[in-house]
Amino acid sequence: MRVALEGLEAPPRLRLLVRVLAWPFRWLGYRGDPALPPVTRALTALGPAYIKFGQVMSTRPDVVGEELANQLRVLQDKLPPFPMEQARATIAEELGQPVETLFSEFSEPVAAASIAQVHRARIAATGQEVAVKILRPGIERAFRRDIDAFHFAAALIEALLPGTRRLRPTDVVRHFEGVVMGELDLRLEAASASEFAANTAGDEGFQVPEPVWHLSSRRVMTLGWAEGIPLGDVEAIRAAGHDCVALSQRVLQLFLSHALRDGYFHADMHQGNLKVAANGDLIAYDFGIMGHIDEYTRRVYAEILMGFIRRDYRRVAEVHFEAGYVPPDKDVDEFARALRAVGEPIFGMDASQISMARLLAYLFEVTERFGMQTRTELILLQRTMVVVEGVARSLNPNINMWQTARPVVERYIRENVGPKALARDLIRTARVLGRFGPRLPDLAESLLRREAEAEPAPIRHGRLRGGLTFLAGAAIGAAALTLVAAL
């Protein structure tokens, strides 16, 4: 705990308080694997939900320090595996046939993380090389225990510290619970892999393994094998002749493209879930956590990013107010100045010159000062942005995040904000209205009856004319716009 707090640059008073509060419990609980470093050992002992937190921190040496980040990378895919006997038993139970019948080759675990482990195999019937992912025994119960503890802690924090309620800890835990429960059904992960592969089929320099459906179930999933160098092995990537600068840019730009263009993105993009193929393509796998954002939120997010890129802090502030992210009683100009204090020190600087720990601390101060609440719909997006930036920095410590993001954001703005987007929205609205065309006579008749029963005669006649005029206009407008859309 001491090492973790030092890595996060926690204030001395907080470090002292944690040590005092933790002292009575230091002799209780599971001590973890003594071969692991202290923080890594503590997180693995606490449980799978805590390991997820450690995986995020492992991508941010600029926040927790290089030494601690390297220690935490063990959590990505190098945790102790469970025995082969249990893996074989799970496959036989889930797929209805023994391993020897289904696969001509089946290796020892090649990767093991908090939720599952992976085996390299070859399908007996086709000879295809695949990755077989198997859930850890008892993982559902372990996660439920962690989630229950989180719910208790969130309720306690909200009760004892009213100032934290704007952070909505209970809602955050509930959101996390939904994400995790989905991750524990590998049929959903197979569906995510399939959808993500379809969305990104045209993305140059990017590969997604396809699921093998007849060899997948709730606790077992089979995907095409992803052959490549793990993205965390930067030295091996350089030795193979790959361009780390280009890869760092591609990681960030692909994430932004998927989030903005598709509204569906890989939300667990740490180095343990990415490889570099022999031809230089980036390969993504492990689709247990996927993020989804609606079209309106995408436009808001893009406008905020574009405002920062153009250093138009007034517009960034206005977008926050328009979207309801900042309470309306706050001052927009004062908020714009606070955003300028965030943006200007990092604009034009490469990543090696920026202290992300201090920046995040100041951002927290800004959100507190302006009463900004946690937006649960943006949690996965913000978390993944932090992870992806950390991955990009590991490949290229001097990456300029704004310059790298600019072409993707500008392309999205061109296509989705402005006259072209307005025309597309109108056509979509027309199609929706067009589907209600056959029901307009019934709606008019129903309106007539209600108005006749409720209003005095003079008022009734005026409102009836207005209602009929509106319905007629809507019908004509819908028909016209539908015709334009068809043409």
Catalytic residue set: 268
Give CA–CA dist 444/475, Å, rounded: 11
Give CA–CA dist 470/130, Å, rounded: 60
Distances (CA, A) of 69 to 62, 248, 445: 9, 18, 68
Give CA–CA dist 243/233, Å, rounded: 13
For 26-73, strand residue ranges (E) read none
Token representation of residue 377: 């719909």
Give CA–CA dist 347/183, Å, rounded: 37
Give CA–CA dist 435/39, Å, rounded: 58
Other Cβ atoms within 10 Å of 398 Cβ, number: 12
Residue located via tokens 């930067």: 234
With beta carbons less than 8 A apart as the criterion, state whether 299 and 321 touch: no
Which phi and psi (to 5°) does residue 195 adopt? -65, -45
What does 197-254 look like in DSSP terms, one character per residue? HHHTTT-TTEE-PPB-GGG--SSEEEEE---SEETT-HHHHHHTT--HHHHHHHHHHH
| CA dihedral angle for residue 62, residue 64, residue 66, residue 69, rounded to 10 degrees | -120
Which phi and psi (to 5°) does residue 326 adopt? -120, 135
Other Cβ atoms within 10 Å of 219 Cβ, number: 22
With beta carbons less than 8 A apart as the criterion, state whether 260 and 406 touch: no
Give the list of residues 6+ apart from residue 400 with CB closer than 8 angstroms, or none. Answer: 348, 349, 350, 351
Nearest to 113 by CA among 75, 145, 71: 75
Distances (CA, A) of 319 to 283, 380, 414: 35, 20, 17
